[in-house]
Amino acid sequence: MVMAERVSVTTFRTDVFNNWCPGCGDFGILSALQMSLAELNLQPHKVAVFSGIGCSGKLPHYVNVYGIHTLHGRVLPFAIGAKLANPELTVIAVGGDGDGLGIGAGHFLNSGRRNVDILYIIHNNGVYGLTKGQASPTLRRGMKTKSLPRENINDAINPIAAAIVAGYTFVARGYAYDTKHLKDLIKRGIEHKGMAFIDVLQPCPTYNDIHTKEWYGGEDRKDPATGKPVPRIYKLESVGYDGEVRNESEVTEKMSRAIMKSFEMGDNIPIGVFYSNPLVPTYEERIGAFAPNYANFPPAVQPIRNLAYRPVAKIDDILEEFAVK
Amino acid sequence: MMDLKQRSSPKFCWMIGGSQGSGVDSAANAYAYTIASAGYNVFGKREYYSNIKGEHSYFTVVASNGNVRSVLEEIHMLVTFDAETVFRHAFNVLPGGGVIYDQSQVEEKLRNIHTLEPPVVKRVSEVLGKEASDVRLKDVLNYVEGKKVKLYPIPYSDLLKRVGDLIGQQQLSFLTRLVNIMAVAASLSIMDVDLRYLQAALEYTFRGKKKVVGMNMTAAQTIHEYVRGSFTSFLDYKLPQVTPNNRDVFIMNGTTVVGIAKIASGCRFQTYYPITPASDESVFLEDKAVFPLNSDVEYEYPHIAEGKYVGKEGNIVVVQAEDEIAAIDMAVGASLAGVRAATATSGPGFSLMMEGLGWAGMNEVPVVVTLYQRGGPSTGLPTRHEQGDMLFTIHAGHGEFPRIVLASGDMEEAFYDTIKAFNYAERYQMPVIHLLDKSIANSTITLRRPSLDNVIIERGLWADGELANGGKTFKRYEYTESGLSPRVALGTKGGIFWATGDEHDELGHITEDPTIRDAMMEKRMRKIELADSEIPVEEKISVYGDRSSDKWIVSWGSTKGPILDAMEELTGIRDDLAFLQVRLLHPFPSAPIIEILRNARMIIDIEQNYSGQLGQLMRMRTSIAPTHHILKYNGRPFSMSELVVALQDVISNGTKRVVCKGE
């Protein structure tokens, strides 16, 4: 066996020119991800980052691990396929809010039903950046960001509530400019056994002129006493919120509480872990229930031919069922 | 008694019909197995509506002591237990053939059968020369009796009561479940087939449920005694003689054959979204998810498996995806991890896969799409047959990317083509579309044991073992003369690469540079030229008949069966007819086809679509166009009978375009 090599944040950097806009929240997510991989001491070749389309879709090119930049809205099926073929891989999927909750909404919901052991991060900035700022599914009705001709006509989806209802077993929200907090969430998401989801609030400095860094930071509402801004973002752990399920009987209650909490939006925006339930069997464990050696002998490590290139699967037993007697 | 109609290989055509959910399928399967067990080759065709219960379905089984690869239009034995089947099919029974029917239904009115479409009602009343409102079942029976068809009225409900007494069960809803097998048994008695073969068939059909087998055998015995005691005149046709022996044959349908081939081929990841007629294959694989591996050979391990546990049993992961978009994308994801991966679908599902297919093409990912064509466009004829998707597969997806398209002519070909599809995919690092159809999916045939003796698993070019340690330098899309770059599986040390649907450089990073674009486009496209030059001609085309003929049939896919049967039928009449079956549709085997058809005077394009797609493709790729067409697009596969007539029409009368209408 090859000894694991020491890794650091630089291990996970590439020399590809990064063409995100200056000040983009994507940078925070990228560096939080790289820090998480380094702190978890993961070997780069054992990690695969998948992405959808859009600005966030470019993220894998900036990370020195297997990087698979897929199709608009389709990041989860690609990522799930790879993970089920080789569960030993650490698989992380990233994509935008339009990618995951608009065009890819069907995959977002159905992935929750499976609880495959991967992490999905949504870069949530309320707009379709790369196509010049159209409203995304997380932009609230009545909002008029910079490039919209009129106020947004659709209601917003609540990604946290949607994820919980869909069955994700680790549901958290981070903020792109609090990279240390986000890094800790990503680490927990990777280590969580099952399908983890992190909704990352992220200013788009070019097209979202409402949910700016200053807005999240509360620059517009200074404390009259201190003269300091009162940030809109606060941490769930700071108010003693605990979303972890420790036994089956708590599931409904914790789910309901997390969903209620997720509707807190506007002047107070909680970040942190809304809900976590490690008790649900993963899809991999469910396969193991009928294919007991799947865990140790998944598709990616199975030999399919012998040294003479002949097939090694025996089909005689199956054929026998159809034999004419 | 007469012999069967003078045929080069005598064929006996049996049909059963009934409302869906009444056991027509299991009855037909039991019959097919019985006849196979008695030593015959069978070809069975299943026709059904997109409906769970109530609509009419029917199953035709042709038995022969020689080759049988298609159905006949004419019926020797029609087996029914409802009135609708008689209304629909009795007119196709040959003089001297027979109809089994429920004698309590003779007064049934045509207009009371709500599942009969207006054209059927019109046809029946026109043949009988009566107002539709006046037609009763007995009118049809009298009419066909006048045409020398033999009638076998059966008092099903009386016989069921008798069976009920014997098995100690009088509940009618329970007993009616035995009617289908009783109908089969009645036909076997009339045809003089020993009931012991039925016993084997029931054990097969009911998978060893002894009590069920026993009750059905009691029912079969009861009706056998009734038939032998009540009728003296049997059919004018006799099954040809065979000597039952220990044949090494199997009775299967196409989805099963392909499923087994996938396990043999090393496919270890399959995805699907439920769709007729493709999902049977995936459900079969779900059922066979764990299978033994040959333990007496040394394996070739995937690179990432070094030092890992090796199981005695293999497993295949089958995922029912949320839609066909996810289905192909999951398969591509698994393939990136180094696994042979496939998805099985039908036309509407394939339409949803375009983007994923293009991504696989762009990123040179091997993936197999098993495409069971059905009647289109749109949802079209969901449960019926068509060859309407071939040109679509060749051009599927936006932009230009290489892919391979192959089509199987029958189940035996489907078995080996399935394995070949994976070999092509991995060897040329591109998506492969394996064209099958509803006819292959749902036909039941006796198949010789598929042999793996000559099967080679080709996995193409891998970079394993020769990777530098850097991790930043592996060129997954390295420019090469052949266009093929060595690949690695996700998780391989030293092999880190990137993939993107955007145009990319050798590392897999996005680029819009025009020179790199040219180089990458040309690299990808060179692979299709490579495939064209390397794939042996015998995998591209098959030729039947006299190569020097100037009269050629050209076709592709499952028309092979009826064409070969029709040619055999025309032995002594049209011996100069030759048949070119195109098996590789893309890259198109232009050179060998030009060579063969150069001097052809007559080129008859036979296809199950409206526009003659192969003819169009051939014209585009070879400048040779068909001179005549025999087409069919009513959703039902060609019968041998109608193809014989159509060929005679084309050859003798020079008819340019014949459209077959048989049901």
Does residue B57 share a domain with residue B73? yes
Read off the pLDDT of each residue in A224-230 and give the average, rounded to a whole number.
95
Q: Considering only the C-alpha atoms of chain A, give the largest distance between any 2 of them, rounded to a whole number of Å.
A: 93
Predicted confidence at residue B472, as pLDDT, reads 56
List the single best residue of B213, B257, B423, B498 to mutate versus A (max A Cβ within 10 A). B498
- Closest residue to A70, CB basis, from B317, B359, B493: B359
Q: How many domains does chain B have?
A: 4
- Domain containing residue B312: CATH number: 3.40.50.970
Which pLDDT tens digit goes with each residue over A110-121? 999 999 999 999
User: Which residues of chain B does A65 touch, with a Cβ-Cβ cutoff of 8 Å?
Assistant: 496
Check residues B246 and B344 and name the one with the higher pLDDT.
B344
Does residue B155 share a domain with residue B171? yes
The answer to whether A310 contacts B316, with C-beta atoms less than 8 Å apart, is no
- Residues recorded for chain B: 663
Q: How far apart are the CA of A214 and the nearest CA of chain B, in angstroms?
A: 33
How many Å apart are CA B398 and CA B353, to the nearest integer? 11
Which one of B230, B263, B278 terminates a domain?
B230
Which pLDDT tens digit goes with each residue over B400-443? 999 999 999 999 999 999 999 999 999 999 999 999 999 999 99
Share of chain B above pLDDT 90, in %: 91
The answer to whether A312 contacts B314, with C-beta atoms less than 8 Å apart, is yes
Least confident range from A25-29, B4-8, B93-97, B520-524: namely B4-8
User: Which residues of chain B does A85 touch, with a Cβ-Cβ cutoff of 8 Å?
Assistant: 268-269, 317, 333-335, 337-339, 341
CA distances from A138 to A142, B163, B357 (A): 12, 67, 30
Predicted confidence at residue A184, as pLDDT, reads 98
The answer to whether A299 contacts B315, with C-beta atoms less than 8 Å apart, is yes
Q: Is the pLDDT of residue B7 over 80?
A: no
- Closest residue to B251, CB basis, from A85, A291, A322: A322
Q: Is residue B1 part of a domain?
A: no
Read off the pLDDT of each residue in B26-31 and give the average, rounded to a whole number.
96
Q: Say which CATH topology domain A9-290 has.
A: Rossmann fold (3.40.50)
Read off the pLDDT of each residue in B458-479 and give the average, rounded to a whole number.
80
C-alpha torsion angle, residues B278, B352, B339, B536 (rounded to 10): 70
Does residue B416 share a domain with residue B478? no
With beta carbons less than 8 A apart as the criterion, state whether B530 and B429 touch: no
**Residue in chain A lying closest to B322 (CA):** A110
B460: which DSSP letter?
-
Predicted confidence at residue B241, as pLDDT, reads 83
Predicted confidence at residue B1, as pLDDT, reads 42
Q: Is the pLDDT of residue A3 over 60?
A: no
- Domain containing residue B226: CATH number: 3.40.920.10
- Closest residue to B36, CB basis, from A16, A70, A324: A324
Q: Which of B385, B395, B418, B404 is nearest to B558 (CA)?
A: B385
Q: Which of A179, A171, A170 is nearest to A30 (CA)?
A: A179
List the single best residue of B248, B462, B496 to mutate versus A (max A Cβ within 10 A). B496
List the single best residue of A66, A83, A195, A287 to mutate versus B (max B Cβ within 10 A). A66
Q: Is the pLDDT of residue B6 over 90?
A: no
How many Å apart are CA A285 and CA A289, to the nearest integer? 6
Read off the pLDDT of each residue in B602-621 and give the average, rounded to a whole number.
98
Does residue B127 share a domain with residue B154? yes
Predicted confidence at residue B101, as pLDDT, reads 98
The answer to whether A312 contacts B459, with C-beta atoms less than 8 Å apart, is no
**Residue in chain B lying closest to A324 (CA):** B250
How many Å apart are CA B315 and CA A37, to the nearest integer? 31
The answer to whether B315 contacts A86, with C-beta atoms less than 8 Å apart, is no
Q: What are phi and psi of A40, to 5 degrees?
A: -85, 0
- Closest residue to B333, CB basis, from A80, A301, A309: A80
CA torsion through residues B606, B608, B611, B613, sign: negative
With beta carbons less than 8 A apart as the criterion, state whether A240 and A205 touch: no
**Burial degree of A225 (CB within 10 A; 0-12, 13-18, 19+):** exposed
Q: Is the pLDDT of residue A4 over 70?
A: no
Does residue B93 share a domain with residue B132? yes
List the single best residue of A42, A283, A301, A307 to mutate versus B (max B Cβ within 10 A). A301
User: Three-state SS across chain A?
Assistant: CCCCCCCCHHHHECCCCCCCCCCCCHHHHHHHHHHHHHHCCCCHHHEEEEECCCCHHHHHHHECCEEEECCCCCHHHHHHHHHHHCCCCEEEEEEEHHHHHHHCHHHHHHHHHHCCCCEEEEEECCEECCCCCEECCCCCCCCCCCCCCCCCCCCCCCHHHHHHHHCCCEEEEEECCCHHHHHHHHHHHHHCCCCEEEEEECCCCCCCCCCCHHHHHCCCCECCCCCCECCCEEEHHHHCCCCECCCHHHHHHHHHHHHHHHCCCCCCEEEEEEEECCCCCCHHHHHHHHCCCCCCCCHHHCCCEECCCCECECCHHHHHCCECC
Query: What value does the CA radius of gyration of chain A take, rounded to a whole number of Å?
Result: 22
Q: How far apart are the CA of A325 and the nearest CA of chain B, in angstroms?
A: 6
Q: Is the pLDDT of residue B301 over 90?
A: no
- Closest residue to A44, CB basis, from B316, B327, B471: B471
The answer to whether B329 contacts A70, with C-beta atoms less than 8 Å apart, is yes
Read off the pLDDT of each residue in B145-162 and give the average, rounded to a whole number.
97
Does residue B16 share a domain with residue B102? yes
Q: Is the pLDDT of residue B12 over 80?
A: yes
Read off the pLDDT of each residue in B547-555 and give the average, rounded to a whole number.
96
How many Å apart are CA A194 and CA B620, to the nearest integer? 52
Q: Is residue B237 part of a domain?
A: no
The answer to whether B256 contacts A50, with C-beta atoms less than 8 Å apart, is no
Predicted confidence at residue B243, as pLDDT, reads 76
Q: Is the pLDDT of residue B465 over 70?
A: no
Does residue B331 share a domain with residue B257? yes
Does residue B548 share a domain with residue B530? no
Which pLDDT tens digit goes with each residue over B314-332? 999 999 999 999 999 999 9
CA distances from B61 to A269, B25, B56, B79, B602 (A): 69, 11, 17, 11, 33
Domain assignments of chain A as residue spans, ordered by start: 9-290
Which one of B448, B470, B500 terminates a domain?
B448
What would the two tokens of residue A86 be? 């080789």
Order of strands across the sheet that contains B628-631: B541-544, B577-582, B551-555, B602-607, B628-631, B657-659
Q: Is residue B385 part of a domain?
A: yes
With beta carbons less than 8 A apart as the criterion, state whether B32 and B42 touch: yes
Predicted confidence at residue B411, as pLDDT, reads 97
How many Å apart are CA B656 and CA B627, to the nearest integer? 7
Q: CB within 8 A of B177, min separation 6: which ones?
A: B23
Q: How far apart are the CA of A303 and the nearest CA of chain B, in angstroms?
A: 5
Q: Is residue B123 part of a domain?
A: yes
Q: Other C-beta atoms within 10 Å of B311: how many?
A: 20
The answer to whether A71 contacts B446, with C-beta atoms less than 8 Å apart, is no
Does residue B36 share a domain with residue B185? yes
Confidence of residue A6 (pLDDT cuts 50, 70, 90): confident
Predicted confidence at residue B9, as pLDDT, reads 64
State which H helix or E strand residue B220 sits in.
helix B210-230
Read off the pLDDT of each residue in B170-178 and give the average, rounded to a whole number.
91
Read off the pLDDT of each residue in B124-138 and give the average, rounded to a whole number.
96
**Residue in chain B lying closest to A48 (CA):** B490
Does residue B568 share a domain with residue B514? no
With beta carbons less than 8 A apart as the criterion, state whether B428 and B456 touch: no
Does residue B428 share a domain with residue B303? yes
Domain span at residue B70 reads 11-230
Amino acid residing at A80: I
Predicted confidence at residue B461, as pLDDT, reads 96
User: Which residues of chain A does B508 touch, with a Cβ-Cβ cutoff of 8 Å?
Assistant: 67
> ipTM value of the model?
0.98
Q: Is the pLDDT of residue B471 over 60?
A: no
How many Å apart are CA B140 and CA A161, to the nearest integer? 64
User: Which residues of chain A does B308 touch, with a Cβ-Cβ cutoff of 8 Å?
Assistant: 296-297, 301
- Domain containing residue B590: CATH number: 3.40.50.920
Amino acid residing at A33: L
With beta carbons less than 8 A apart as the criterion, state whether B205 and B29 touch: yes
How many Å apart are CA B449 and CA A322, to the nearest integer? 10
Q: Is residue B247 part of a domain?
A: no
Does residue B70 share a domain with residue B34? yes
User: Which residues of chain A does B494 touch, with a Cβ-Cβ cutoff of 8 Å?
Assistant: 45
Q: Is the pLDDT of residue B374 over 60?
A: yes
CB pairs under 8 A between A and B: 286
Q: What are phi and psi of B120, to 5 degrees?
A: -70, -45
Compute CA B589 distance to the chain's CA centroid, rounded to the nearest angstrom. Answer: 24
* Average confidence score pLDDT of chain B: 95
Confidence of residue B8 (pLDDT cuts 50, 70, 90): low
Q: Is residue B79 part of a domain?
A: yes
C-alpha torsion angle, residues B174, B176, B177, B180 (rounded to 10): 170
Read off the pLDDT of each residue in B455-476 and give the average, rounded to a whole number.
80
User: Three-state SS across B43-83?
Assistant: EEEEECCCCCCCCEEEEEEEEECCCCCCCCCCEEEEECCCH
